[in-house]
């Protein structure tokens, strides 16, 4: 992707070619891969055949596609190594491919909108962040694919996704830095030992067309390849969301002692998003509570035709699994990914009084008309990231000391090289519009030239070990510890530079009580940390000595802990899983600005907490009725300690306030019913209670409820037709929030899909 025709060649080289640091990881990769190879070489002669306990050729439905036929998942690798969800002492929500298809969730952010506990920050320059239980996910880097970290702030699609897993609560013992509110893991579709092709075409309003194919071919008794491809063209009433994706995977040695897998993934997007709509507020500026009023239709696009958000990612992955026995394995993965994001768009604001008809400013008492003027302020950002990761995980179940153990241990290494310009807007165009003329076709030429790029480099090495010890047939104890050494350096375009090094420990403790096969009760305590580098690589401005960014870069990591009690039950003859958890999450040394202007770092004196309950259910009540439900209730969320000062009713949240973007209730439910052999119907609801934008303590975005519906007709054993309507009532609501504006939730969308399997 070439965002600027006059960008110099150095900016267009893949990031990996501009850094000499990649070779430093290759010997380490060779060492860990060699460890797997040594295990392979030491396999006794004659034992390379299929393991006697592994059955892969006689399944009527391979495990790799079971996600297509159920809302319920029972196992996951998110806890490092394959584990039953009932053995994980934390709340895990899994959204299977069947659920994603039923609700027509093709965009990653749409999946998150149907996840309880999630809220969205509408960024000042398009840097939308995702919050889980009120804590950052997107900019903290807590989004993964197959257990490996992805670049922040890129567009994602579900065309090659088997399921989405959300692990809630502190998870640094498993994943390292970040993971205060939890992590999100996208599980890629895997090859399996059958010939199967699935093709689907979808058309909808807003000029939406999408075609995708999922092709799997068996090559031998132990090898197969799988290809997923997608193309989407959506002209959304002036906004745009075009995508092209290709994912290929070859896998050999399935069911044998040594298994190899090669994965290639490529996704590009050409978007023209609705960055924001300006809001109206009830009351006066001195009021302690002002309600946000959304007035502009959600489908109205007021940006320029020349606005864009272009992203590209190319990822290659090599995995080797050596199975010493049916309960012992070593899995090593090497991944290299290149990511690029180029954004240039218009922030929409009410024009000042002097530019409005009649000379009156827009307000709740003077609402907009068709002739009300809207100004377009340019916003631009550009970023490239190269991430190379190496991860080796060992898992073993054995008997020792009279107890049963499930031991997991591993090492992971990562290098990230990033180049960013977080403030590249260009000059004002002077091209305004009016409320009554959305999508007016106005555009401007890009005369900005090449972006000047700050550089950010980091390396990390992590070591972890965890043991689940069965003290009795019903009681298990969990203990884990992780050590990370994290190094980062940065340099701005003025030549200012700095570096940091952190040595960090992350413990995890828990206990499981499992009185029978259908119930499990747990308690867990975990800690996590957020390094300052997660924030300063996205900071605006330079890193001059004594400045805010320089002090931020010198600040030690924030730390958090999560205490959780919960239960997991299998009901209706193991057809439905029910989970409940009570949690207390606390960030106990949050960054605060030091009142001493001569200080070289920020104070870690802040504290915030969230206490609540999670409830989820997934599966079948009977053979016809299927349900999915997840609900987060946070009755208590508070900034316990802060030095943010203020005298008026507005401004940033202060000590004693509820944190922004932390609604008390959020839930999503979906249920389907098979009326007969051919007709199936579905109904869903999303709810989010009122919340404050971050940085606007006296502004309240109202609660909203959005209904979705689905009707599916089975033509024959191979072909189905599905009709989806999202936002049935065309509800107008604020989905993402920022101080001063919001991004509207999607208007009513109507989709018709034809799918065939052969």
Tens-digit pLDDT profile for residues 265-274 = 999 999 999 9
How far is residue 182's CA from residue 109's CA, in Å, rounded to a whole number?
A: 16
Query: Higher model confidence: residue 610 or residue 545?
Result: 610
pLDDT at 126: 53
> The tokens 């107890």 sit on which residue?
403
CA angle, residues 302, 424, 439, in degrees to nearest 5: 10
Tens-digit pLDDT profile for residues 205-236 = 999 999 999 999 999 999 999 999 999 999 99
pLDDT at 123: 73
Q: 708 - beta bridge partners? A: 684
Tens-digit pLDDT profile for residues 120-129 = 998 765 557 8
How far is residue 173's CA from residue 480's CA, in Å, rounded to a whole number?
A: 7
Question: What is the residue-wise DSSP string for 626-672?
Answer: EEEEEEEEEEEEEEEE-----SSS-SS--TTSPPTT--SEEEEEEEE
pLDDT at 2: 39
Mean pLDDT of 314-331: 97
How far is residue 28's CA from residue 271's CA, in Å, rounded to a whole number?
A: 39
Q: Is this prediction's pTM over 0.85?
A: yes
Residue 594 pLDDT more than 70? no
How far is residue 275's CA from residue 253's CA, in Å, rounded to a whole number?
A: 47
Mean pLDDT of 735-751: 95
Query: Higher model confidence: residue 54 or residue 174?
Result: 174
Task: Name the helix (H) or strand (E) containing 12.
Answer: helix 9-12
Coil vs helix vs strand at 7: coil
Q: Are 535 and 497 in contact (CB under 8 A)?
A: no
Residue 530 pLDDT more than 90? no
Coil vs helix vs strand at 378: strand
Lowest mean pLDDT among 51-55, 93-97, 108-112, 278-282: 51-55
Confidence of residue 13 (pLDDT cuts 50, 70, 90): very low
Confidence of residue 407 (pLDDT cuts 50, 70, 90): very high
pLDDT at 15: 34
Q: Are 137 and 613 in contact (CB under 8 A)?
A: no
How far is residue 313's CA from residue 337's CA, in Å, rounded to a whole number?
A: 7
Residue 537 pLDDT more than 80? no
pLDDT at 60: 64
Which stretches does DSSP call E strand in 237-327?
A: 239-252, 258-272, 277-278, 280-281, 290-293, 308-325
How far is residue 476's CA from residue 495's CA, in Å, rounded to a whole number?
A: 55
How far is residue 292's CA from residue 78's CA, in Å, rounded to a whole number?
A: 39
Q: Are 623 and 680 in contact (CB under 8 A)?
A: no
How far is residue 370's CA from residue 191's CA, in Å, rounded to a whole number?
A: 55
Of 164, 82, 73, nearest to 574 by C-alpha is 73
Mean pLDDT of 618-628: 97
Coil vs helix vs strand at 109: helix
Tens-digit pLDDT profile for residues 645-702 = 887 889 999 999 999 999 999 999 999 999 999 999 999 999 999 999 999 999 999 9
**33 backbone dihedrals φ, ψ, rounded to 5°:** -65, -35
Residue 59 pLDDT more than 70? no
Mean pLDDT of 197-209: 98
Q: 575 - beta bridge partners? A: none
Length of the chain as a residue count = 758
Average pLDDT of the residues of the chain: 89
Tens-digit pLDDT profile for residues 475-499 = 999 999 999 999 999 899 999 988 8
DSSP state of 189: P
How far is residue 453's CA from residue 341's CA, in Å, rounded to a whole number?
A: 13
Of 446, 448, 485, nearest to 464 by C-alpha is 485
The two three-digit tokens of residue 12, written as one number: 């267009």
Q: Are 22 and 415 in contact (CB under 8 A)?
A: yes
Of 398, 254, 361, 235, nearest to 301 by C-alpha is 235
Of 447, 248, 281, nearest to 363 by C-alpha is 281
């Amino acid at each position: 992707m070439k965002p600027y025709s006059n960008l110099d060649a150095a900016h267009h080289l893949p990031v990996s070619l501009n850094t000499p640091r990649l070779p430093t990881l290759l010997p380490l990769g060779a060492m860990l891969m060699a460890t797997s190879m040594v295990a392979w070489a030491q396999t006794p002669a004659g034992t390379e055949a299929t393991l006697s306990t592994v059955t892969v050729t006689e399944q009527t439905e391979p495990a790799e596609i079971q996600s297509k036929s159920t809302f319920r998942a029972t196992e996951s690798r998110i806890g490092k190594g394959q584990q039953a969800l009932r053995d994980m002492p934390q709340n895990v929500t899994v959204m299977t491919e069947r659920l994603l298809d039923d609700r027509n969730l093709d965009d990653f952010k749409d999946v998150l909108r149907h996840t309880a506990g999630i809220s969205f920050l509408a960024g000042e320059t398009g840097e939308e962040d995702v919050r889980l239980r009120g804590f950052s996910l997107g900019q903290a880097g807590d989004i993964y694919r197959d257990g490996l970290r992805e670049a922040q702030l890129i567009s994602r699609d579900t065309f090659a996704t088997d399921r989405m897993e959300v692990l809630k609560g502190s998870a640094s013992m498993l994943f390292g830095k970040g993971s205060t509110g939890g992590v999100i893991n996208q599980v890629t579709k895997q090859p399996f030992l059958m010939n199967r092709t699935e093709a689907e075409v979808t058309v909808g309003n807003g000029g939406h067309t999408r075609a995708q194919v999922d092709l799997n071919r068996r090559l031998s008794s132990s090898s197969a390849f799988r290809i997923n491809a997608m193309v989407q063209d959506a002209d959304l009433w002036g906004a745009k969301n075009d995508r092209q994706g290709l994912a290929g995977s070859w896998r050999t040695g399935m069911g044998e002692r040594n298994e190899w897998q090669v994965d290639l993934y490529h996704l590009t997007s050409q978007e023209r998003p609705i960055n924001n709509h300006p809001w109206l507020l009830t009351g006066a500026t001195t009021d302690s509570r002002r309600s946000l009023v959304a007035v502009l239709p959600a489908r109205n696009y007021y940006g320029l035709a020349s606005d864009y958000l272009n992203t590209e990612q190319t990822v290659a992955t090599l995995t080797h699994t050596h199975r010493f026995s049916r309960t012992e394995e070593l899995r090593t993965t090497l991944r290299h990914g290149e990511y690029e994001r180029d954004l240039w768009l218009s922030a929409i604001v009410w024009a000042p009084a002097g530019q409005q008809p009649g000379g009156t400013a827009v307000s709740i008492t003077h609402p907009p008309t068709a002739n009300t003027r809207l100004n377009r302020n340019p916003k631009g950002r550009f970023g490239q990231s190269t991430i190379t990761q190496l991860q080796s995980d060992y898992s073993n179940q054995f008997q020792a000391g009279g107890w049963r153990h499930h031991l997991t241990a591993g090492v992971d290494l990562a290098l990230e090289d990033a180049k960013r310009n977080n403030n590249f807007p260009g000059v004002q165009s002077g091209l305004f519009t009016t409320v009554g003329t959305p999508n007016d076709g106005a555009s401007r030429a890009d005369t900005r030239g090449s972006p000047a790029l700050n550089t950010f480099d980091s390396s990390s090495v992590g070591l972890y070990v965890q043991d689940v010890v069965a003290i009795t047939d019903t009681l298990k104890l969990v203990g884990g510890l992780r050590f990370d050494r994290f190094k980062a350096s940065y340099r701005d375009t003025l030549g200012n530079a700095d570096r940091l090094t952190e040595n960090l420990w992350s413990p995890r403790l828990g206990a499981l009580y499992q009185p029978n096969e259908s119930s499990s009760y747990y308690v867990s305590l975990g800690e996590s940390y957020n390094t300052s580098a997660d924030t300063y690589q996205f900071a605006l401005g330079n890193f001059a000595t004594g400045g805010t960014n320089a002090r931020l870069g010198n600040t030690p990591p924030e730390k958090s802990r999560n205490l959780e009690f919960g239960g997991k039950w299998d009901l209706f003859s193991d057809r439905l899983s029910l989970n409940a958890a009570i949690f207390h999450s606390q960030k106990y040394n949050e960054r605060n600005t030091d009142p001493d202007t001569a200080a070289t770092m920020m104070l870690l004196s802040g504290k915030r907490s969230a206490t609540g309950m999670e409830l989820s259910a997934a599966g079948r009540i009977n053979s016809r009725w299927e349900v999915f439900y997840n609900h987060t209730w946070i009755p208590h969320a508070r900034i316990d300690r802060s030095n943010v000062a203020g005298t008026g009713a507005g401004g940033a949240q202060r000590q004693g306030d509820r944190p922004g973007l932390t609604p008390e209730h959020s839930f999503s439910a979906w249920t389907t019913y098979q009326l007969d052999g051919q007709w199936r119907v579905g109904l869903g609801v999303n709810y989010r209670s009122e919340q404050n934008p971050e940085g606007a303590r006296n502004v309240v975005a109202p609660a909203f409820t959005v209904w979705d519906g689905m009707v599916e007709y089975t033509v024959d054993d191979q072909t189905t037709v599905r009709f989806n309507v999202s936002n049935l009532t065309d509800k107008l609501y604020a989905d993402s929030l920022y101080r001063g504006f919001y991004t509207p939730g999607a208007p009513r969308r109507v989709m018709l899909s034809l799918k065939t399997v052969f």
